[in-house]
Amino acid sequence: MPIPILFPIEVTSRELDARLLLAAHCAGEGRTVFLGQDRGIYRLARRWRGGIYVGKQILVGGQKPNLTKYRVLKERGFRVMFLAEEEPVFGEEADLDRDQFLQMFHPNWLDSDDVICAWGEFSAEVFRSAARPDAAAIHVTGHPRFDLCKPELACMYESETEAIRKRFGKFILLNTKFALASNLPAFLSVKNAFTGQVAGGDAAEYWLQFHAYHARLQTAYIVLANRLRKEFPDYHIVLRPHPGEDPACYNAVLGGIKNVSVLTEGSVLPWLAAASVLVHTGCTTGLEACHLTPRIIQYAPDVGYVFEQHLPSLVGAVCGTEDEVVREIRGGTRLTVEPAAERRISRIIANFSPQLMSSERIGALVAEEAKKMPASATQGRLAELEHLARSLVQPRNQRQRKAGGVPRKFEPFEPAVINAKLRVLEGLVGKRLKSRLISRFMVEISAA
């Protein structure tokens, strides 16, 4: 039986396409890939004997890390390839907090037969400096989500991009990220995980200010959306909340206003490719847009504040007032990334080096690890059947129905969408791929 490669997904809109790209590189002789909702993938692994788990969901960081799920997988004979969905990579290298890095993930949590995938040389150096002599191997891989932003993979989104352009014509995309103001459970989760964020300082003051900072920016972006729809009547204004945000407040204030839409549909990448202008908050979207959007603006009315994220400001223009944003849209041109800035970014996110394709690098590591493993036990197929049955009779746990207006993070798979993307990927990786839907929450991808 082929070695199972397990890819957990937490937020479909952000992770699915990168996981499909990675699956295309990982699937091959003696290897088959399972993509699914993170809890379902873990439940499947508990009844499997041996495999490779690629992700971070079984490791819960913080001052008191929870490694219970990780230990269960190790007892079942799994090798773990740690791949973070987020790294604290938004500051200048000298200003990044190494202790915060290691609180989110410490290399000594893994066994020596595991693998750590670092986003860049900086995080790899942090991990190596803290790792014990027999720690897991550390490789600089980048992250597949940034592969999708490269020109050679633009074909992944051609049809979606064209459909968006036909739907909205010229539009300005406002991309927000204020979950700590609009989503109370998210705020409490982050606060509880990082209670010692300010060592020796006033933690209550820190978290109060963090919440207030997000609330101020959220209000500023709502006001900016209204300003832009009046200043640029020939453009549509599309405000796209982060998957962790509650869009209810945006809909309540902006709903029904001509030329303004609040949307959370699909991956952000075709929206970046279709937009005339991106206005973002200083998150990874600004970096993802580097090769996709003609004009990129980071709107930061609280410039210089302690929570400012610096790295995305190296791409495009940084504006501190509404007037500056309007002037930049009217007469500005997107600033090319200076070579020195590109080198600074690539130290932290290796994909910014044109020589590195993250999905190929990780795919090669998976193939190497699979060769070291014994053939997987056939009892895994019984676990698949159990997953299918339980996903049908326990929809409450699997489907993550919206609570308090917050959209569910995991949207059930649509076979037609997955197969269409696989047909594009076949041409990119030079192999035939096939999919098998196990349930609406899990799919198997293998090389034909």
Ramachandran area for residue 293 (φ above 0: left; ψ -120 to 50: alpha; else beta): beta
**Same-domain status, 84 and 135:** yes
**Same-domain status, 180 and 133:** no
**Same-domain status, 10 and 36:** yes
**Same-domain status, 185 and 249:** yes
- Residue 154 covered by a domain: no
Q: Is a pLDDT exceeding 80 seen at residue 15?
A: yes
Q: Which of 279, 309, 338 is the last residue of a domain?
A: 338
CA angle 318, 320, 326 (to 5 degrees): 80
Q: Is a pLDDT exceeding 60 seen at residue 265?
A: yes
Residue 196 or residue 78, greater confidence? 78
Q: Output the pLDDT for position 408.
A: 63
Q: Output the pLDDT for position 75.
A: 95
Residue 192 or residue 165, greater confidence? 165
Q: What range does the domain containing 314 cover?
A: 160-338
**Same-domain status, 246 and 300:** yes
Q: Output the pLDDT for position 136.
A: 96
Quick one: DSSP state of residue 233? T
Question: Which pTM was predicted?
Answer: 0.86
**Same-domain status, 320 and 373:** no
* Mean pLDDT for the stretch of residues 283-300: 87
Quick one: DSSP state of residue 375? P
- Residue 171 covered by a domain: yes
Q: Is a pLDDT exceeding 80 seen at residue 404?
A: no
**Same-domain status, 42 and 90:** yes
Q: Is a pLDDT exceeding 90 seen at residue 223?
A: yes
- Residue 374 covered by a domain: yes
Beta bridge partners, 52, equal: 5, 79
**Same-domain status, 102 and 251:** no
Residue 326 or residue 202, greater confidence? 326
Q: Output the pLDDT for position 168.
A: 96
Q: Output the pLDDT for position 225.
A: 97
Distance of CA 353 to the CA centre of its chain: 19
Q: Output the pLDDT for position 113.
A: 95
- Residue 345 covered by a domain: no
**Mean pLDDT, all residues of the chain:** 85
Q: Is a pLDDT exceeding 60 seen at residue 221?
A: yes
**Same-domain status, 127 and 209:** no
**pLDDT tens string 43-91:** 888 888 889 999 998 988 777 789 999 999 999 999 999 999 877 555 5
Residue 409 or residue 193, greater confidence? 409
**Same-domain status, 305 and 434:** no
Q: Is a pLDDT exceeding 90 seen at residue 102?
A: no
Q: Output the pLDDT for position 382.
A: 61
**pLDDT tens string 421-432:** 999 999 999 999
* Mean pLDDT for the stretch of residues 6-33: 93
Please tell me the distance from the alpha carbon of residue 18 to that of residue 318, in angstroms, as a whole number.
28
Collapsed DSSP state (helix, strand, coil) of residue 49: coil
Q: Is a pLDDT exceeding 80 seen at residue 398?
A: no
- Core vs surface per residue 15-30: b (16+ CB within 10 A) or e: bbbbbbbbbbbbbbee
**Same-domain status, 331 and 195:** yes
- Residue 123 covered by a domain: yes
- Residue 95 covered by a domain: yes
Residue 231 or residue 243, greater confidence? 231
Q: Which of 338, 367, 391 is the last residue of a domain?
A: 338
- Residue 346 covered by a domain: no
Residue 140 binned pLDDT confidence (cut-offs 50, 70, 90): very high
Q: Which of 281, 305, 338 is the last residue of a domain?
A: 338
Q: Output the pLDDT for position 203.
A: 73
CATH code for position 249: 3.40.50
* Mean pLDDT for the stretch of residues 215-243: 94
**Same-domain status, 20 and 114:** yes
Number of domains in the chain: 2
**pLDDT tens string 338-384:** 777 778 888 888 988 877 899 999 999 999 999 998 876 555 666 67
Q: Output the pLDDT for position 401.
A: 43
- Residue 153 covered by a domain: no
Query: For 261-265, which contacts have Cβ atoms below 8 Å and span 24 or more sequence positions?
Result: 261/168, 261/236, 261/237, 263/238, 263/239, 264/13, 264/240, 264/407, 265/13
